[in-house]
Structure 1
Amino acid sequence: MYKYIKVAAGVIALAALVPAAASAVTGGQGGAGAACTSDGSEPTGHLLAKRIEKDINEALKGRDSVASVALYDRKTGIACAYDENRQQDAASVIKPVILGALLFQSKGPLTGEDDALARKMITASDNAAATTLWKKLSDLTNPSAPNPVKIQEFLDAAGMKNTILDKEGFWGLSQVTAADQLQLLKVFTYNSDTAAPVLPQEARAYALELMNHVQSDQRWGAPAGAPQNAVVHVKNGWLRRSDNPGVDPYDRLDWKVNSMAAFTGDDYDYGLVVLTENNRVPDGHPAESGWIYGIGTIEGVARAVHHDLYPEQSSSRRLQPTPQNLVKQLKLQPHQPR
């Protein structure tokens, strides 16, 4: 929440499906760091942009996680990006993409089975529901390798140019970027009359409503530190790669931990995406410790962003799941290729 190791909602990828991000375990983040801009709509916009830029970099400093970050805030005119076009396994953050494609194809409100499946897929990160909808939106000429042509149509319409959909039915192996996932949040929260929306208002409201009702033990990550009076729309994804000899050494047993959220209500209108990998499990530590580390990286960035944008309203809460909830969520990882 992909040919199949039935573990819990994460994924494992074959080397051929992995972007050439690294050929060995190097640890830590490279690149030039975060870059934030202001559209000038606020007199203090430039200073705020520089502060957020600095604090994102500080939040990632010293972390072993390799992260990509994307942020927009329509109210302040702030936009931030940090390695935002780097591709990595989606895990369950592909599920809002499936939802968007379903709404795009339906041309109206979802009813009956589609509604039930969409709700299970988003609010409970149900993998069987996601697989059913993936197939519904695919060319099944080869049933063992569904071609998600209708999902691609939605990506094209939404301007999500760097997302690569898996063509073997392992939807969690699809490659996503922080920039494209942020674009999806913009599609869901679109509120302008200047151009025709990708999705009609009713469909956008439906998507946001489902993401607002994600079950409580899956609401960690990007919402950490968010204003307590904001309406939160979140979806997370997590997976641990296999130790299969065919998997690139960089990816073996690595945790991929992702979080995306939009914040609305009470004059809020912003979105944050943080994708992470290189969350290793130290020798002798429980398998889930890499997952917890990735969540910590995401929440460090999130708390910095929320505090800088809305210092008087932001919360200091950490949202990391309890050990009991971690065990429960481990059962939600997507299937993995052998």
Structure 2
Amino acid sequence: MVFGGGGLIYAGLNDGGPDGGSILPGALSAGDSTTGPSAGAVDTAADVSASPSPTGPSPEELAKAERAKREKQLTAALKKLTASSPEFSVAVQDKKTGETYAYRGDEKYETASIVKAQILACMLLKDQDAGRDPSSAEMTLAKPMIQLSDNNATTSLFTRIGGKTAVGKCNKRLGLTETAVNTSWGLTRTTVDDQIKLLGEFVDTKGPLDADSRKTAFKLMNTVNAAQDWGVPAIAKSGETFTVKNGWDTRSADGGLWAVNTIGRVTDGDDVDVSVAVLSHNNKSMQSGITLVEKVAKLTRQYLKY
């Protein structure tokens, strides 16, 4: 991502006499008469009025410069946090402006349970291809998979829709080019760049998911169990709507440290329409990981002002 600063350049007029001094419209020299301006004074006024007026940056250029300034400040704040915290990455996409920000966007992390949102999308696409709505049996698995993050339900649904091979093919349709599906679904590896793409597909009216599929995904991700509405929901203000899928896991291979991830969206009519993904690993505990991903998400809102 390219960050830049913006500045204003002010152009001045320098219309003057032989001595190089500037003469303002209507100004008189020491020898001028206040009752009958000389030919020289008239010519000077005509010259000034014929000169182009100074122009500054357009509103669009000013907005772009302000955005670049905020992104630069956010990056500095995240770098400072990185120096004293476990590794993390974050991406934000503002659907209202079309702007996307990413910090370490292409770094790969294990998904843990956020992959369940991906599995849900693939189930919905599979049903669309068959020209039918999700079956009651599928929804019996999909609901606890998303709302409760039920692992057994996830394994059953993952196998039902074709496992690693099917989800891998589905990822291509979703544009997830940096996500490698694992037979043990929780060990799937991904990036925040890809997770932002996935979140975007859940609301893209021109994407592969049709209106009914998008509605189903929203309903499930908007009604997660209260004990799991941490992460992205922490940045939602009163009256705003959120969707979320969180992931957390610890492995002996990582020395018992925790991977803690959160993906979701925050919306409020025409005012806010933002997707956020934060991935992290090597956290000392699940709670410290939650604290980290929420702090990172809050920093994006503080500096990007969405």
Please give the TM-score of this superposition, normalised by the length of structure 1.
0.68
1:48 shift after superposition: 2.9
C-alpha distance in 2 between matches for 1:278 and 1:86: 14
Alignment of 1:57-206 (within 5 A): 57-59=76-78, 60-107=81-128, 108-138=132-162, 147-167=163-183, 170-191=184-205, 196-206=206-216
Does structure 2 retain, via aligned residues, the 8 Å contact 1:56–1:301? no
Q: 1:203 to 1:43 in 2, by over 3 A?
A: farther
Determine if the alignment matches structure 1 residue 275 to structure 2 residue 263.
no
2:65 corresponding residue in structure 1: 46
Relative to structure 1, is the Cα distance of residues 49 and 114 closer, same or farther in structure 2, using a 3 angstrom cutoff? farther
Q: Which amino acid aligns with 2:214?
A: R
Question: Using a 3 Å threshold, how does the CA distance of structure 1 residues 35 and 219 change in structure 2: closer, same or farther?
Answer: farther
Q: How far does the alpha carbon of each residue in 1:29-53 deviate from its partner, in whole angstroms, 9 at most, with x for none? A: xxxxx8669xx96852431343144
Deviation at 1:278, TM superposition (A): 2.0
- Residue-by-residue CA offset, 1:48-92 (whole Å, 9 max, x unaligned): 343144235414244321011111002133211111111111110
| 2:89 and 2:105 in contact (8 A); partners too | yes
Unaligned runs of 5+ in 1: 1-33, 139-146, 281-289, 312-338
Q: Which amino acid aligns with 2:152?
A: A
1:247-287: per-residue Cα shift (whole Å, max 9, x none)? Answer: 3xxx221210000011224222210000001213xxxxxxx
Match of 1:256 in 2: 259
Greater percentage in helix? 2
If the length of structure 2 is used for normalisation, what is the TM-score? 0.74
State whether residues 48 and 308 of structure 1, in contact with CA within 8 Å, keep that contact through their aligned partners in structure 2.
no
Q: Which has the larger Rg?
A: 2
Show the counterpart of 2:226. Answer: 216
User: Whose relative contact order is higher, 1 or 2, with alpha carbons under 8 Å and at least 6 apart?
Assistant: 1
Please state whether the residue corresponding to 1:239 is helix, strand or coil: strand
- The 1:56/1:293 distance shift into structure 2, 3 A limit, reads farther
What is the one-letter code of the residue matched to 2:63? T
CA contact (8 A) 1:36 1:80 kept: no
**Please, what is the CA RMSD of the aligned residues?**
2.1
Unaligned runs of 5+ in 2: 5-58
Distance 1:128-1:310 versus aligned 2 partners, 3 A rule: same
Identical positions, percent = 32
Q: Deviations along 1:150-184, whole A, 9 cap, x unmatched?
A: 211210101101111113xx110111111111110
Structure-2 residue corresponding to 1:22: none
Instruction: Work out whether 1:296 is the aligned partner of 2:299.
Output: no
1:231 to 241, 261, 284: 241
Amino acid across the alignment from 1:77: G
1:198-246 CA-to-partner distances (Å, cap 9, x unmatched) read 111110111011100011110111222223222100010001111xxxx
* Residue aligned with 1:220, SS: coil
